[in-house]
Structures are given as C-alpha cells and as structure tokens.
C-alpha cells in the first residue's frame, strides 16, 4: 500500500497558503495503525501555518502535510497492534509521547520531554490517510458522532482547562470565545456554573456563546468588562477566570475581575511577553493560576467521553463543512473568525 | 416581650410523642436575634425525638422545644447586633459554635469542639419564636422562596456531601433516598454527573428520585445492586459513592460497587458498629473516603445559595405541609417514609 | 542461556516450607530484561507463602519460584529494549501492568485491572536470575546502595502511604511497626512531623521505632493507646493515622485517637471483615480516609529516590542477612517478628 | 490608664525618618486587650514607611505609631474578654478582619474585604503599649521564646508560602533571601526538601541561607541562575519556585528554571507591572501558581507553632537587637540588607 498515493493538503514552502497534492500514503510501523480520514477540522494552529506567521516560520519545515484534528476508520494495523481492529471508527490524541521520561512515567504525558505533534512534527491528517501510533488511537463510543469525534482534540483542551478545579456553583469569566472558549461555555453550563460571563469581539461568536449558555457576553471593544463582571457578582469578582485569548488586556482585565481567593486557568498563548500586575492580580488576591497544556493523556479523553455520553452537546460548535477541494475558502473563513469549527471532508 | 407566651411543640418526657403547649417566648442576649417562625421542617432527628429511640434517650433532656429547620422573620435584635434588621426573612445554621477552639479558628466550625445544636441542646424552632445567635443567621436572597429556605439545613448536608470531590462526568451511586439522598440526586444532575444510580426501598421516594433525575433507582430488597451498577459501568463500578443510609448492607454493597480509585462520602449514621470489608472495599481499591458532618460554616451555605440562584430546583422535595396543630399526622407521615420533606406552618 | 539452570527457592506444594532447587533460567521476551539477582528481601507476603496460610492456598499455584523484592545486575536484554544496558545495577517494580486499561491510561497503574505480580503470578526473585519487563526496571542512582535498592518495594509502600497527604507539622499515629511501619516512622521524621507516636508489641521493633525517630511507642498489650495519644495532643487526637497492622482493635483505636478533621491512610490488610464504629470514627469527625495499594507507578519511585538522595536513611531497617542456603533460618526469623528487613544473598 | 503616656516611634510626617515621642497609651474597647510590648521586630514594610517611598506616601497617614511585629505581656482586658488573662505572654496577628464578609465566613480571613492592618491603619507596636482585638491575640506556648514570638508574623508568611503545596522530596528554588526567604530555606529543610537552591545578592544573607540549610545560594549578579538550577536537576528544573523578591528578572528566571508540572508560590511584591513570558513559563509547563497574602487565620499560626514545637529553629534569623532609643541605627541596618531580623527592645 505504501507505494500508492493519496490526496493531501501540503504546506509547500515558507509562504502563505497550501496546496492540494498527491503524496505517498504514509508508511506505518509495527505499533502503528493507518487510518482513512473521513473528516478533519481546522485548528487555529493550522490557520497560523496556512498564513505563515512568525511561529510557523520558526517551527514548521515544509513540505509538510499538516492538520491534527480528525476522525476516520482504521484500515491497516501494524503487526504488533493487538487491541484495535480494522474497520473501527476512531480519532486520536495528536501528541506522540516518549513513554520513557519522568513525565510520561508519572501520568503527565501531556508535558512529555520529547513529544512529537501530529501535523507539526509528523505528517498530519489533512490527507486521505494518516499514520497514528496505536496507543494514541481513541476508539469511539458508538453514541458519539464522527463529526464530534473530529473536534475532540480542541474539546479536550476546553475540558482540561475548565475542569482543572471547581466549576459547580461558581461565577465564571471566559475571556475569548474561539472554539475552545465556546466549548468552555458549554462545559461550564453542563457542570453547574452559576453565572457564565464571556468576552468576545466577533458577533458570530458572541451569538454562539449565548447559544451555548453564556449569561452575558461582553465585547471588550465596547464594554467595560471589569465593571460589568463586578456588577454581576456583588462587587466580589468572578470566582473563576478561564483565559482563552492570550491577549494582554484580556489577561489583565481577567485578573482584575477575578475574586480574591479565586482560581484561573491560562490556555491562550500570548504573542509575546505579557505585562502583568501580579501584585493586585494574583498575590494580594491569594489567587491560584493553572497553566494548561494540551489534554491529559488520557484522563481528559475519558472525562470528555463521559461528558458527551452524559449529554454535553457541542454539535452547534460545528458551523461549516467543506469538501477538501474548497480548502482555501475554509481557511479564509477560519482566519475571519466568523465561525465555530470548520470541517474538511475527505 | 419575654413574659409573653407562644405556642410550641414540646417533648415533655421520656416517651413517644410531643405536645403543643404554651411556653414563654425565648429570652435573647445582646448578640442574638429573635425570629418569628413561619415554616419549620421535620428532620429525621426530630422523628427520632418524637418516637424516642435509644439515641434520643441518651441525648435529649425533656422538656424541650425541638426542631431545627425553619425560616421566618426577624422580630427583635440584641443590642450588639449591627448587620441584621427587623423584618428580614431569614433561616439559620443550627450548629452554634464556640468560635474559640482550633476548629472554629481554622475554618472548620462544622466540627467545633464545643457545639450546641438548635432543638437538641437549646430551645428549637417548632415554636412561634426562636432565639438564634446573630452570626448563625442566614439572610435570604430574595430569589429564594421561604419554604425552600426552611429546608436549607438538610439541603446543606447534601451539598456538603455531594460536592466534597468531583461529580462532573462521574457515575454516581447514592445509597438511600431520604430527603438528603434525594437532594443529592438533584445536585448530581445539576453538577453534570454522567449516570446517577440510587437505591431506595420506599416506592414514593423511588418515584421522587426519578423525578430529580436519577437514571436508575434500585430496590435492594428486589435488585442485586452491585451487579446492576457493574452492568451500567462497563464492570468498572461507580466513580462515586454517596452513602446516605447508614445501613450495613448498603455500605458494603456500595463499596463493592465502587470503582477502583473512586471516592466515597459517608453521611448516613449507622445504628451500631458496621462490619466492613476494608481490604476489598477500600484498601486494594485505593479508594478515598470522606466522613461528612453537618454543613461547612459557611462555605456550604454560600455554595448552596449559588446553586439555588444558578437554577437548582429542589421544590419537588417538599411534598407535604401541615398546620402545626396537625403535627401528629405530620410526624407519622415522616416515620412512614412515604414523603419528601414535611413542613409545619406556624 | 535459557537451557542452563540456576538455584532458586521454590514453593513446591500446598504445605509449609520451601526448597532450594535447580530450575531453568527464565526465558525472556523482546521487551524484557534478565537480571542476575544479588540480594533479595523477604516480604510478609513471602512469609505467608512459606507458612502457607489461607490467602496463599487461595492464590498461589505451586510449584512457584517466589520473592519480589531484590536488586541485581542486568545480564541480558530483549531485542526491543533500547534504554537499558547490560551491567546496570537495578531493582524493579513487581506489579506488571496491562498498560491498556482505564487505570493504566490515567496514571493509576498501581490499581491496574489486569495486573500480574512478581513471585505470585510469575516466577519471582528468590533465584539467581529473574525476568522483568523492561518498563518495570528501576535503574539505580549510584548514590543508592544495592541493599537499600532491594527494599525499595516495601519502602515504596511506606512512601505511598505516608505522603498521600500532609505530614509536616502534624502529630502522627502509626499503628504497627513492621518494616513498612518502621519506614513510615523514618519518613515522618524526615518530612517534618511534630510528634510521632507508634504502636507495636514486639520489643525488637519497638527499639527500632525509637531508633527511626518515634517519640513514643506504645505497646497495645500494656498501654491504653487512645488515652496516651490524647495526652500527647492536648486531647485533640492525632492529626494523622497510618494504619499498618490490619488489626481490628488497632484500627478502631486508631480512629478513636484520630483528631476531628484528620486524615488516615490504610495499608494493613485485615484477616477478615472489620467491625468499625464509622459514626464516631469517621463521620462525626469529618475524617478523610485513603486506601493504599502498592506504589504509584512511577510517581512513588521518583519520590522515594528523591527522599533517599535527600538524606532519608533507612539503612538500619536491614537487620539481618543470610546466604540463600540458610533460608529456613531467615524465614523463621521473619515469622518471629524480631527483625527489620531480612535479606537473602545469592 | 488612658490618660497616661508612653514612648512610641512615630512617623510624624511625609518625609524620611521617625521620632521617638511620648504619646497617649491607646484606649481599648470591650473586646480588646492592652499589651505591654517587650520586643518588636522591624519589617520591610516598616523600613518603607521609615524611608517614605511611593507606597508609603499613598497609604500612610502621619502621624502614626507604626510597627506590627512584636511580643509582649497582656496588661489589661476589655470587659468582654473571657479567654485571656493579664500576665500572659503573647504575640498577635496584625490583620484585623471584619468577621462578616464572604471571606471571613469561609475560613479566608487573610483576604478579608475590610481588613485593618496594625501599624498601617491603626496604631502599631513600636510603642510601650499596643491595643489588639482579643481574637487576634496568639497565646504563646511556653516552649517558644518571646523573641521568636516577635517574628512569628513574617515567619507565618514563610510558612504560608512554603507549605501551600508539597515540599518533601522536592528540589526548591527560593528567589530572594530576606528574612522571609531565609525562613523558607529553614522550613524547606525541616520539611524534607531534596535540594534547596536560593538566590541572593547580599553576602551576609548568602551566609545565613547556607546556615539555614541551603545547598546552593546563587548570586544573580554573578551566576547564571537558570543554568545552575538546570545543572542541579538533571535539566528538569526545580520542582518548586518560592518567589520572595518581587524582582522582574528573578521572577522570569524563576519560571524559566521551574520544572514542567512544577508549582510556584509568589509572595514578593513587584515595584510595578512585571513583563512575563507566560507561554513558556506557565502555560506550556502546565505549572501551578499560588498568590500568597499574609497568614491564614489561624491555620498558619497553628502550623507555625507545630513546626516550632517540632524542632524548627529560626533563632539564627534574629541577628541584631537594639534599644528603641537606637532606632535610627536599626532602621539603617535593615535598609542596608546586611542583617536577618532586627529587634527593638522596649
């Protein structure tokens, strides 16, 4: 099979854009599976690679098949793979870990010393076939639709971030309503948050945030976020801050609006260093801050499955689907921000 | 005011029953308030006092006005009380703490060394008026109905028990669906539990458990609880056990049905020592067990208010209301078990 | 090498004793290593197998080479083993896990669904050579002596139990001073416990407990443990209970002597069901109880190494060494209880 | 007694310095005690008030008797004070809380909404007599020397910071060895840390840090702190960062040198906003950060007493004592940094 070719979206060089090309179907080792991709989803990271920003220039070595969010069907098994079967519908954790370092050996594979990332360090899933180590495959419960499975990677980020500490009964501020922030809104509602306050500048996403159960969505370009949050919380501030934007003002507003003794989880990456008021924002408050990286392997996946089986509905997060041929339109849409998750069908 | 009398339900002596009598309105000190009781609720403890079991005989010194669950209106303030006002609708925490011991000084007033309990150690709320230390008064948010306020004491037990560790996404087994177990069902549903499994032998309460969102309610007299729970959990067992019965078989079944690495909270008091298989039930499982006493003061009260304001609906828990004159009927109903919370109106 | 034979201690049949025999050197698979055993240590479990109690009869299938605590040198590597080298001095985790179940995939390998135990389910280390899966091998830091390495398995139990919650500044009661209880004494002292109180009936072990830093060692056959603990703790009780005995009276005394709001870890296995006063011992106290199984893989191993490198000295725990030929004397000594750890040299 | 006068150190106006004056002995209310100060200690905050920096100018209203660290003897009791006695040797928590806000009612008095600080908002302890609310008084265990008691306030900061999460077996980096950082070194050693690494630029304090048990003390003006820490930790980084300096470079170096998955506690206040690399320092690392304010009331005090009774020796922290008349010399010494704690005797 390895001499055959497949269609794949290739980052061909250090410039904007990508090309739909025919490339060889990936080879796979004894502990790998080969998966026929049905649906892939476009991540913000993919949009960065497409538009070729500074981060991409420093990290990506073209040519590269990119993409890391998908679901599909197992079509071939390495000889050492015992617990999976051809024909199974699956998705996968895209962080391939070393399984030998301190972190991997203490249940912290998400911060492995020697990780390789699907579609960044290895050939990705924007292709008809993708190679995945068997231990990274996540077999789908039949109650979970394949499109939902294709967004379990970002949903996992939201689950990891949101459920790192107590949500039930708490007033939550979510800064930034991209797909992960929107998922966080849904998870907070599901988990019994009291008031869910969010910030977002894109109207399409503001509407989605309300649809997922936000009580208030503030536009930081128009609203005074800090005073609005204080107004909603008897001047105490939000019990919880979920930071999904990486924006300096959002971060500082977020910590200003955080209640004393409250907790915060940081997922959004900042474009550079961030000037923070740590005295008033963290120290005097006795606040707790969690940095969040990826998904816990595989605690987050089990929890995510439990939430979906328990009734968490993130279907409305998928707002657009494209045939892979229309990938340019899809990427431009993602870059516009006027969307939830955008899928590419293979 | 102290020479006037009021109607009150009095435990007159060491025997079954109680009497509706006229007794003096309680005196109150400089740091107390006097509350006109509107609605009181009957606790299992009150039913024990009424029927005069071993525990009552060892603990209660008649004559005593009993009762500790209520809501009402402040009608008089001690001279040192600054932050409360006449006319406010309130309920109260019925554990009066010393505020001086190690526990009180470290945020653990619920296990105070030198506690006095309303309606057990001091004159209770089954009366037209009740004296309460100002610091124990819980001022009602106007969105919370007074009848709901009258059951915040037992609801607090359920909140304290249920939210002592993670619920969201977890499969929960609740053994015993008295009013606190039923509240736990509602809280688990609100907090995003996956499957809620409960046990109960009374049909009236089985129906209520389903109404509050239980997925499965097993009758241990008819069903094999352990195998049912294993069937619902891919043979892993329940992630969480909330023990509300104090029954030896329920406790052992509960721990047998608990998942390895799962957690359990024990609230139900056993009639005597309990024979437990701690090897298989706790040790080999690496299980965590929390003993639960009362309500955290006042963490649980704030959390409870947050849940109620966030939409937790425990209204259906109140199944019967009686005028205080009909107290015998009310107590007999509570003793029958075919009810949720039973209120007495003053 | 596999056709050659070696000396090994074999449980030959369902009766007391064991035999030193020549048996084939174990075969090893592609992911295994073969280790030349230098020193093995006798566990209570081994003593049970030797004396053939009920548990052994239900669990062990003779003939079996038993033993699971050891250190030695790698002498052969399976073809797939990349990160270990012939000649390295090592010890090993004796729980061989499936790496596929929910527990293994969430950092809880110590409670794996499908575990095999060295010297119980597979040929053990009371032999010149032992086969170990490469991922279970623990490479020794050169600062750790090989004899100490041979007792890292039970030391790990003590580390797992003792450090599951806060020790620093706490008054600790350790019930039972076998080798694991004695290790717990040493760890508590190292970790900054305030008063360390222990119970033990064997004079040899009472002396050892004092040597490891216990402040008070009570003999429950002579002393009133509960009142002694209360006397030492201003009548509050011990902040922490580490239960290492499995004895019903010790368990109940331990919980009676536990402070309200305190925590307890249970490691000692009881010979049968235990009659417990859960009302006063756990529920009213608002106590927390942890069941402890084995060692966290491999969190506990890293922590243990850190403690040893940081200066924890458990050398005095090794009280006797025997040549393997003198195994009968060694086992009789272990069964007498008048010893710490007893080593067998190969 | 209130018409009598006493000697006190008074900040007389908005400029450098202070004056030793006679002022009226403080009046005290029914729930207060009056304490005869024996020994006071100079805090960094007092040095700021003395030298009159921006913070002082914005916060302090002269004339003010300042100072908040002391020990002394109770000489008068308010009429409502029941549990203290004249003649007792005591110290006190200097944060006077409202006891009514959400924080006070949930065991978080250290972040009270409406706190008044001794020697900042009320007349302080640099005087022969000081008024303290009875509930803030900390009665001394007789095994604790009065000079040690006079530094329990800053020692409490160190205890709160250091023991907020796990120390035992961990490699710790402490940035800044003022008195609180030095105390943290001692506490880490007492609590079983593995390697203790610290940073400091003052030679006197570098020596003290070694005396308290630091394994390595780096001078950031000469040493590359990050690479030194990595060298000591197999390139993993420190498990724990205790930030005591408020210095931007120290903060960023600290987070760079922190291990993935490690934890950090921030106590040092920064002179302004801090430019931080939160991506690499916190988010990708999955690090946990705790902001620390004051001492938990009164959890930290009980823990501190337990450590001192358990053998923690912070005596060497007190490096200088002065008669109050020599206060200028004392303050200049504190401002030079070449000291541990400096005491003023009254």
Residue pLDDT, tens place only, D176-185: 999 999 999 9
Contact predicate C177/C198, CB 8 Å: yes
| A283·D289 Cβ contact <8 A | no
Nearest one of C11, B167, D37 to A190, comparing CA atoms: B167
Kindly give the residue spans of alpha helices, DSSP state H, lying in chain D.
44-51, 54-59, 146-149, 152-162, 179-190, 203-211, 225-232, 248-256, 278, 299-310, 327-336
Nearest one of D345, D315, D346, D318 to D334, comparing CA atoms: D318
* Residue among B5, B12, B15, B45 flagged as catalytic: B45
pTM for the model: 0.98
Cα separation, A207 vs A188, in Å, equals 17
| Contact C16/A at CB under 8 A | no
| Contact B170/A at CB under 8 A | yes
Contact predicate B45/B157, CB 8 Å: no
Exposed e or buried b for every residue in A151-175, given b needs 16+ CB within 10 A?
Answer: bbbbbbbbbbbbbbebbbbbbbbbb
| B169·A194 Cβ contact <8 A | no
| Contact B313/A at CB under 8 A | no
The pLDDT, as a whole number, for residue B326 is 98
Q: Indicate the SS3 state at residue A343.
A: strand
| Contact B79/D at CB under 8 A | no
| C286·B111 Cβ contact <8 A | yes
Structure tokens at C7: 């000396």
The pLDDT, as a whole number, for residue D187 is 98
Give me the phi and psi of B71, to 5 degrees please: -140, 160
Can you list the positions of beta strands (E) in chain A? 5-11, 19-24, 32-41, 64-65, 69-77, 89-92, 95-96, 116-117, 129-133, 137-139, 172-175, 196-199, 216-218, 238-243, 258-266, 274-276, 288-291, 318-323, 341-345
Considering chain A, what is the average pLDDT of its residues?
97
The whole-angstrom distance between D88's CA and the closest CA on chain B is 17
Q: Indicate the SS3 state at residue D51.
A: helix
Given D261, D267, D270, which is nearest A108 (Cβ)? D261
The CB-side HSE value for A147 (13 A sphere, CA atoms) comes to 15
pLDDT at D293 over 60: yes
Which other chains touch chain C, taking contact as 3+ CB pairs less than 8 Å apart? A, B, D
pLDDT at A340 over 90: yes
Cα C55 from chain centroid (whole Å) = 17
pLDDT at B2 over 70: no
* CA-to-CA dists, residue B138 to B29, B71, B300, C42, D105, angstroms: 18, 10, 12, 60, 11
Cα separation, D302 vs D292, in Å, equals 17
pLDDT at A212 over 90: yes
The whole-angstrom distance between A101's CA and the closest CA on chain C is 11
The pLDDT, as a whole number, for residue C1 is 46
| Contact C193/D at CB under 8 A | yes
| Contact A216/B at CB under 8 A | no
pLDDT at A203 over 50: yes
Contact predicate D88/D134, CB 8 Å: no
In sequence order, what are the beta bridge partners of A344? Answer: A40, A322
The whole-angstrom distance between B163's CA and the closest CA on chain A is 8
**3-state SS track over C144-165:** CCHHHHCCHHHHHHHHHHHCCC
Which helix (H) or strand (E) element contains residue D71?
strand D69-77
Given B260, B278, B293, which is nearest C103 (Cβ)? B260
The whole-angstrom distance between D310's CA and the closest CA on chain C is 4
Residue of A nearest to C295 (CA): A106
Cα separation, B167 vs B192, in Å, equals 7
pLDDT per residue as tens digits for the range A106-136: 999 999 999 999 999 999 999 999 999 999 9
pLDDT band per the 50, 70, 90 thresholds, residue A160: very high
Q: How confident is the model over A271-297, as a mean pLDDT?
A: 98
In sequence order, what are the beta bridge partners of D206? Answer: none
| Contact C139/D at CB under 8 A | no
- Residues in chain B with CB shorter than 8 Å from the CB of C278 are 251, 266, 270, 273-274, 276, 291
Considering chain D, what is the average pLDDT of its residues?
97
The pLDDT, as a whole number, for residue D298 is 98
Cα angle C64, C140, C331 (rounded to 5 degrees) comes to 35
Nearest one of A117, A39, A139 to A346, comparing CA atoms: A39
The pLDDT, as a whole number, for residue D1 is 46
| C102·A302 Cβ contact <8 A | yes
pLDDT band per the 50, 70, 90 thresholds, residue C340: very high
A 244-303 near C (Cβ less than 8 A): 296-299, 302
| C107·A102 Cβ contact <8 A | no
pLDDT per residue as tens digits for the range A177-199: 999 999 999 999 999 999 999 99
The pLDDT, as a whole number, for residue A272 is 95
The whole-angstrom distance between D102's CA and the closest CA on chain A is 9
pLDDT per residue as tens digits for the range D245-280: 999 999 999 999 999 999 999 999 999 999 999 999
pLDDT at A1 over 80: no
Cα separation, A105 vs A99, in Å, equals 7
* Residue among D2, D12, D48, D91 flagged as catalytic: D48
Cα separation, A260 vs A234, in Å, equals 13
Structure tokens at C81: 């083993």
In terms of Cβ atoms closer than 10 Å to its own Cβ (0-12, 13-18, 19+), residue D117 is middle
Give me the phi and psi of D174, to 5 degrees please: -115, 115
The pLDDT, as a whole number, for residue A249 is 98
In terms of Cβ atoms closer than 10 Å to its own Cβ (0-12, 13-18, 19+), residue D14 is exposed
Contact predicate D287/D281, CB 8 Å: yes
- Residues in chain A with CB shorter than 8 Å from the CB of C107 are 106-108, 299
| C83·A105 Cβ contact <8 A | no
Structure tokens at D4: 């009598």
| Contact B102/D at CB under 8 A | yes
Query: Complex ipTM, two decimals?
Result: 0.97
Q: What percent of chain C has pLDDT over 70?
A: 99
Judge whether B95 counts as a catalytic residue. Answer: no
Cα angle B8, B12, B13 (rounded to 5 degrees) comes to 160
Counting one residue from B and one from D, how many pairs have CB atoms under 8 Å apart? 25
Mutation to test the A interface, candidates B161, B259, B260, B306, most A Cβ within 10 Å: B306
* CA-to-CA dists, residue D240 to A264, B317, D174, D236, angstroms: 19, 48, 8, 11
Residue of D nearest to C310 (CA): D194
pLDDT band per the 50, 70, 90 thresholds, residue C108: very high
The whole-angstrom distance between C135's CA and the closest CA on chain D is 21
- Residues in chain D with CB shorter than 8 Å from the CB of C309 are 194
Q: How confident is the model over A145-151, as a mean pLDDT?
A: 97
Counting one residue from A and one from C, how many pairs have CB atoms under 8 Å apart? 25
Bond from prior residue into D298 cis (ω within 30 degrees of 0): yes
The pLDDT, as a whole number, for residue B1 is 46
For residue C332, how many other CB atoms are within 10 A of its CB? 12
Q: How confident is the model over D313-318, as a mean pLDDT?
A: 98
């Amino acid at each position: 099979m390895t001499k055959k070719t497949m269609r794949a979206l290739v980052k061909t060089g250090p410039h904007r854009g990508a090309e739909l090309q025919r490339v060889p179907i990936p080879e796979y080792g004894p502990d790998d599976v080969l998966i026929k991709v049905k649906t892939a989803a476009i991540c913000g990271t993919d949009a960065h690679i497409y538009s070729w920003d500074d981060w991409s220039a420093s990290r990506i070595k073209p040519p590269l098949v990119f993409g890391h969010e998908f679901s599909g069907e197992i079509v071939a098994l390495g000889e050492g793979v015992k617990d999976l079967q051809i024909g199974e519908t699956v998705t996968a954790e895209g962080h391939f870990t070393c399984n030998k370092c301190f972190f991997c050996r203490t249940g912290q594979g998400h911060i492995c010393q020697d990780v390789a990332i699907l579609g960044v360090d290895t050939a990705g899933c924007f292709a008809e076939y993708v190679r995945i180590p068997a231990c990274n495959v996540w077999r789908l419960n039949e109650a979970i639709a394949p499109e939902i499975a294709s967004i379990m990677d970002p949903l996992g980020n939201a689950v990891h971030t949101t459920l790192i500490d107590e949500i039930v009964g708490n007033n939550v501020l979510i800064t930034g309503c991209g797909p992960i922030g929107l998922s966080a809104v849904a998870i907070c509602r599901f988990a019994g948050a009291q008031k869910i306050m969010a910030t977002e500048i894109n109207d399409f996403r503001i509407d989605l945030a309300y649809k997922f159960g936000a009580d208030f969505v503030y536009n930081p370009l128009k609203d005074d976020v800090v005073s609005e949050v204080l107004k909603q919380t008897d001047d105490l501030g939000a019990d919880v801050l979920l930071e999904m934007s990486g924006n300096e003002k959002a971060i500082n507003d977020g910590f200003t609006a955080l209640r004393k003794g409250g907790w915060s989880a940081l997922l959004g990456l900042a474009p550079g260093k961030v000037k923070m008021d740590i005295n008033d924002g963290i120290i005097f408050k006795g606040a707790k801050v969690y940095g969040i990286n990826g998904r816990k392997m595989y605690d987050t996946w089990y929890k995510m499955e439990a939430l979906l089986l328990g009734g968490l509905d993130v279907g409305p997060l998928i707002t657009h689907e494209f045939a892979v041929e229309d990938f340019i339109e899809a990427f431009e849409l993602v870059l516009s921000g006027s969307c939830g998750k955008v899928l590419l069908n293979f």
